Protein backbone atom coordinates (compact mmCIF):
# COMPACT_ATOMS: atom_id res chain seq x y z
CA UNK A 1 0.00 0.00 0.00
CA UNK A 2 1.48 3.34 -1.03
CA UNK A 3 1.72 6.34 1.31
CA UNK A 4 -1.50 8.27 1.73
CA UNK A 5 0.37 11.53 2.42
CA UNK A 6 1.92 13.64 -0.30
CA UNK A 7 4.54 16.37 0.03
CA UNK A 8 2.25 18.85 -1.78
CA UNK A 9 -1.47 19.37 -1.40
CA UNK A 10 -3.79 18.40 -4.24
CA UNK A 11 -4.51 22.13 -4.70
CA UNK A 12 -0.81 22.92 -5.03
CA UNK A 13 -0.37 20.12 -7.58
CA UNK A 14 -3.40 21.29 -9.52
CA UNK A 15 -1.67 24.66 -10.07
CA UNK A 16 1.45 23.08 -11.61
CA UNK A 17 2.03 22.81 -15.37
CA UNK A 18 2.33 19.28 -16.79
CA UNK A 19 6.14 19.21 -16.75
CA UNK A 20 6.25 20.20 -13.09
CA UNK A 21 3.63 17.60 -12.19
CA UNK A 22 5.86 14.94 -13.75
CA UNK A 23 9.00 16.31 -12.05
CA UNK A 24 7.22 16.36 -8.70
CA UNK A 25 5.83 12.83 -9.19
CA UNK A 26 9.25 11.49 -10.09
CA UNK A 27 10.78 13.01 -6.95
CA UNK A 28 7.87 11.87 -4.82
CA UNK A 29 7.62 8.25 -5.98
CA UNK A 30 11.02 7.48 -7.55
CA UNK A 31 11.12 4.09 -9.18
CA UNK A 32 7.61 3.30 -7.92
CA UNK A 33 6.09 5.50 -10.64
CA UNK A 34 4.96 4.25 -14.04
CA UNK A 35 3.25 5.60 -17.16
CA UNK A 36 0.63 3.61 -19.06
CA UNK A 37 0.41 3.94 -22.84
CA UNK A 38 -2.10 2.88 -25.47
CA UNK A 39 -0.50 4.89 -28.30
CA UNK A 40 -2.98 7.69 -28.69
CA UNK A 41 -1.87 11.31 -28.93
CA UNK A 42 -1.58 11.72 -25.14
CA UNK A 43 0.93 8.83 -25.05
CA UNK A 44 3.05 10.72 -27.59
CA UNK A 45 3.02 13.86 -25.42
CA UNK A 46 3.88 12.12 -22.16
CA UNK A 47 6.61 9.89 -23.62
CA UNK A 48 8.26 12.96 -25.14
CA UNK A 49 7.90 15.05 -21.97
CA UNK A 50 9.37 12.35 -19.74
CA UNK A 51 12.27 11.95 -22.14
CA UNK A 52 12.91 15.73 -22.32
CA UNK A 53 12.86 15.96 -18.53
CA UNK A 54 15.23 12.97 -18.35
CA UNK A 55 13.00 11.20 -15.87
CA UNK A 56 13.39 7.49 -15.30
CA UNK A 57 9.78 6.30 -15.48
CA UNK A 58 8.72 2.74 -16.34
CA UNK A 59 6.33 2.52 -19.27
CA UNK A 60 3.51 -0.02 -19.19
CA UNK A 61 1.86 -0.89 -22.48
CA UNK A 62 -1.77 -1.92 -22.09
CA UNK A 63 -1.95 -4.01 -25.26
CA UNK A 64 -5.33 -5.71 -25.67
CA UNK A 65 -4.03 -7.49 -28.80
CA UNK A 66 -6.89 -5.78 -30.62
CA UNK A 67 -5.22 -2.49 -31.46
CA UNK A 68 -5.10 -1.06 -34.96
CA UNK A 69 -1.99 -1.70 -37.07
CA UNK A 70 -1.37 2.06 -36.93
CA UNK A 71 -1.27 1.98 -33.12
CA UNK A 72 1.38 -0.75 -33.14
CA UNK A 73 3.36 1.20 -35.75
CA UNK A 74 3.14 4.32 -33.58
CA UNK A 75 4.48 2.30 -30.66
CA UNK A 76 7.44 1.19 -32.79
CA UNK A 77 8.22 4.75 -33.86
CA UNK A 78 8.13 6.00 -30.27
CA UNK A 79 10.20 3.06 -29.02
CA UNK A 80 12.81 3.77 -31.65
CA UNK A 81 12.93 7.52 -31.19
CA UNK A 82 13.01 7.55 -27.39
CA UNK A 83 14.75 4.20 -26.77
CA UNK A 84 11.83 2.93 -24.70
CA UNK A 85 11.71 -0.46 -23.10
CA UNK A 86 8.15 -1.48 -22.38
CA UNK A 87 6.54 -3.51 -19.63
CA UNK A 88 3.68 -5.53 -21.12
CA UNK A 89 1.36 -7.30 -18.68
CA UNK A 90 0.05 -10.73 -19.66
CA UNK A 91 -3.38 -11.06 -21.16
CA UNK A 92 -5.08 -14.18 -22.48
CA UNK A 93 -5.11 -14.54 -26.26
CA UNK A 94 -8.23 -13.76 -28.27
CA UNK A 95 -8.53 -17.48 -29.11
CA UNK A 96 -8.43 -18.36 -25.39
CA UNK A 97 -11.03 -15.70 -24.65
CA UNK A 98 -13.30 -17.04 -27.39
CA UNK A 99 -13.00 -20.52 -25.86
CA UNK A 100 -13.60 -19.38 -22.27
CA UNK A 101 -16.16 -16.62 -22.73
CA UNK A 102 -17.71 -17.22 -26.15
CA UNK A 103 -16.97 -15.55 -29.47
CA UNK A 104 -16.71 -11.78 -29.88
CA UNK A 105 -17.14 -10.94 -26.20
CA UNK A 106 -16.85 -7.24 -27.13
CA UNK A 107 -20.30 -7.59 -28.73
CA UNK A 108 -22.01 -9.64 -26.04
CA UNK A 109 -20.39 -8.12 -22.93
CA UNK A 110 -17.96 -5.28 -23.58
CA UNK A 111 -17.59 -4.60 -19.85
CA UNK A 112 -16.42 -8.18 -19.30
CA UNK A 113 -14.12 -7.99 -22.31
CA UNK A 114 -12.54 -4.73 -21.07
CA UNK A 115 -12.21 -6.23 -17.63
CA UNK A 116 -10.27 -9.22 -18.97
CA UNK A 117 -8.17 -7.36 -21.52
CA UNK A 118 -7.55 -4.06 -19.73
CA UNK A 119 -8.51 -3.92 -16.06
CA UNK A 120 -7.02 -7.24 -14.91
CA UNK A 121 -3.71 -6.69 -16.74
CA UNK A 122 -3.49 -3.18 -15.29
CA UNK A 123 -4.22 -4.41 -11.76
CA UNK A 124 -1.32 -6.83 -12.00
CA UNK A 125 0.96 -4.33 -13.76
CA UNK A 126 0.44 -1.72 -11.02
CA UNK A 127 1.35 -4.03 -8.16
CA UNK A 128 4.99 -2.85 -7.90
CA UNK A 129 4.06 0.85 -8.13
CA UNK A 130 2.77 3.58 -5.83
CA UNK A 131 1.73 5.96 -8.60
CA UNK A 132 0.46 5.68 -12.15
CA UNK A 133 0.69 8.42 -14.80
CA UNK A 134 -2.00 8.46 -17.46
CA UNK A 135 -2.97 10.88 -20.21
CA UNK A 136 -6.61 11.48 -19.39
CA UNK A 137 -7.99 14.98 -19.90
CA UNK A 138 -11.13 16.58 -18.47
CA UNK A 139 -12.25 17.80 -21.85
CA UNK A 140 -12.37 14.30 -23.40
CA UNK A 141 -15.83 13.37 -22.12
CA UNK A 142 -18.31 14.05 -19.31
CA UNK A 143 -17.04 10.92 -17.56
CA UNK A 144 -13.61 12.58 -17.23
CA UNK A 145 -14.75 16.12 -16.45
CA UNK A 146 -13.79 15.92 -12.79
CA UNK A 147 -10.35 14.30 -13.28
CA UNK A 148 -7.67 15.90 -11.10
CA UNK A 149 -3.92 16.13 -11.66
CA UNK A 150 -3.46 13.88 -8.68
CA UNK A 151 -6.08 11.65 -7.13
CA UNK A 152 -6.13 8.54 -5.01
CA UNK A 153 -7.33 5.26 -6.52
CA UNK A 154 -8.35 2.85 -3.80
CA UNK A 155 -9.22 0.30 -6.44
CA UNK A 156 -5.62 0.07 -7.65
CA UNK A 157 -3.95 1.14 -4.40
CA UNK A 158 -1.99 3.90 -6.16
CA UNK A 159 -1.97 7.63 -6.74
CA UNK A 160 -3.18 8.51 -10.21
CA UNK A 161 -1.11 11.28 -11.79
CA UNK A 162 -2.83 13.07 -14.67
CA UNK A 163 -0.52 15.88 -15.83
CA UNK A 164 -2.65 16.66 -18.90
CA UNK A 165 -5.93 16.89 -17.00
CA UNK A 166 -6.39 20.56 -17.91
CA UNK A 167 -5.11 20.31 -21.49
CA UNK A 168 -7.45 20.81 -24.43
CA UNK A 169 -7.28 18.73 -27.59
CA UNK A 170 -5.70 21.78 -29.24
CA UNK A 171 -3.02 21.96 -26.54
CA UNK A 172 -2.12 18.35 -27.29
CA UNK A 173 -1.77 18.99 -31.02
CA UNK A 174 0.17 22.22 -30.46
CA UNK A 175 2.68 20.34 -28.30
CA UNK A 176 3.00 17.42 -30.73
CA UNK A 177 3.52 19.68 -33.74
CA UNK A 178 5.90 22.07 -31.94
CA UNK A 179 8.09 19.15 -30.90
CA UNK A 180 7.67 17.04 -34.04
CA UNK A 181 6.64 13.99 -32.02
CA UNK A 182 5.55 10.74 -33.73
CA UNK A 183 1.79 10.26 -33.32
CA UNK A 184 -0.90 7.81 -34.32
CA UNK A 185 -1.86 8.58 -37.96
CA UNK A 186 -5.45 7.45 -37.34
CA UNK A 187 -5.93 10.82 -35.66
CA UNK A 188 -5.53 12.38 -39.14
CA UNK A 189 -8.50 10.45 -40.55
CA UNK A 190 -11.17 11.23 -37.99
CA UNK A 191 -10.25 8.97 -35.07
CA UNK A 192 -10.00 11.49 -32.25
CA UNK A 193 -9.94 8.72 -29.64
CA UNK A 194 -8.46 5.30 -30.43
CA UNK A 195 -8.90 1.98 -28.69
CA UNK A 196 -9.54 -1.55 -29.94
CA UNK A 197 -10.60 -2.19 -33.53
CA UNK A 198 -14.06 -3.65 -32.77
CA UNK A 199 -15.02 -0.77 -30.46
CA UNK A 200 -13.66 2.31 -32.22
CA UNK A 201 -15.01 4.36 -35.09
CA UNK A 202 -14.09 7.82 -36.40
CA UNK A 203 -15.98 10.79 -34.97
CA UNK A 204 -17.67 13.70 -36.69
CA UNK A 205 -16.37 17.18 -35.79
CA UNK A 206 -19.62 17.98 -33.93
CA UNK A 207 -19.33 14.91 -31.69
CA UNK A 208 -17.52 14.59 -28.37
CA UNK A 209 -13.92 13.46 -28.61
CA UNK A 210 -14.68 9.96 -27.31
CA UNK A 211 -18.00 9.48 -29.13
CA UNK A 212 -16.37 6.92 -31.42
CA UNK A 213 -15.64 4.54 -28.55
CA UNK A 214 -18.34 1.88 -28.00
CA UNK A 215 -20.60 3.97 -30.26
CA UNK A 216 -24.26 3.00 -30.11
CA UNK A 217 -24.01 1.78 -26.52
CA UNK A 218 -24.10 3.64 -23.20
CA UNK A 219 -20.56 2.52 -22.35
CA UNK A 220 -18.22 5.50 -21.94
CA UNK A 221 -15.14 4.01 -20.33
CA UNK A 222 -13.18 0.77 -20.59
CA UNK A 223 -13.14 0.62 -16.81
CA UNK A 224 -9.51 1.33 -16.05
CA UNK A 225 -10.35 4.89 -15.00
CA UNK A 226 -13.47 3.89 -13.10
CA UNK A 227 -13.19 3.62 -9.32
CA UNK A 228 -16.38 1.61 -8.81
CA UNK A 229 -15.59 -1.95 -9.88
CA UNK A 230 -18.90 -3.44 -8.75
CA UNK A 231 -20.27 -4.36 -12.16
CA UNK A 232 -17.18 -4.44 -14.30
CA UNK A 233 -16.19 -8.07 -14.03
CA UNK A 234 -19.71 -9.43 -14.44
CA UNK A 235 -20.57 -11.87 -17.18
S1 LIG B 1 -12.43 -1.91 -26.08
FE2 LIG B 1 -13.72 -3.54 -26.98
S3 LIG B 1 -12.36 -5.12 -27.76
FE4 LIG B 1 -11.14 -3.75 -26.42
S5 LIG B 1 -11.13 -4.76 -24.46
FE6 LIG B 1 -12.88 -3.34 -24.44
S7 LIG B 1 -14.69 -4.47 -25.23
FE8 LIG B 1 -12.81 -5.68 -25.65
Q: How far is the CA of 40 from the centre of ligand 1 (A)?
A: 15
Q: How far is the CA of 15 from the centre of ligand 1 (A)?
A: 35
Q: Could you give the strand order of the β-sheet that contains 150-153, starting from the edge strand earlier in sequence?
A: 86-87, 58-61, 33-37, 131-133, 158-161, 150-153
Question: How many other C-beta atoms are found inside a 10 Å radius of the C-beta of residue 24?
Answer: 20
Element (H, E) at 58: strand 58-61
Task: Of 147, 115, 122, 151, give the one whose Cα is nearest residue 34.
Answer: 122
Does ligand 1 come within 6 angstroms of the Cβ of 121?
no
What's 119's DSSP letter? I
* Nearest CA, atom 6, ligand 1: 114
* Nearest CA, atom 5, ligand 1: 114
Cα–Cα distance, 147 to 137 (Å, whole number): 7
* Nearest CA, atom 4, ligand 1: 196
Domain ranges for the chain? 10-199
Question: For the whole model, what pTM was predicted?
Answer: 0.93
Span 74-119, pLDDT tens digits: 999 999 999 999 999 999 999 999 999 999 999 999 999 999 999 9
Instruction: Assign a CATH topology to domain 10-199.
Output: Rossmann fold (3.40.50)
Span 1-29, pLDDT tens digits: 456 789 999 999 999 999 999 999 999 99
Catalytic residues: 222
Does ligand 1 come within 6 angstroms of the Cβ of 64?
yes
pLDDT tier, 185 (very low <50, low <70, confident <90, very high otherwise): very high
Residues whose CB falls within 8 Å of the CB of residue 54, separated by 6 or more in sequence, listed in order: none
Report residue 86: phi and psi, to 5°: -100, 145
Report residue 222: phi and psi, to 5°: -75, -20
Q: How far is the CA of 215 from the centre of ligand 1 (A)?
A: 12
Amino acid sequence: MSSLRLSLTETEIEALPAEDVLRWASEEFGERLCLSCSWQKQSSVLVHMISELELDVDIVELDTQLFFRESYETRERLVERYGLSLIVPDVITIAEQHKLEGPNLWETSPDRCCHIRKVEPLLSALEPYDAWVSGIRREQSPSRASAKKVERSERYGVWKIQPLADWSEKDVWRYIMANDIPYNPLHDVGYRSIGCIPCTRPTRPDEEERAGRWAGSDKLECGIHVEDSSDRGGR
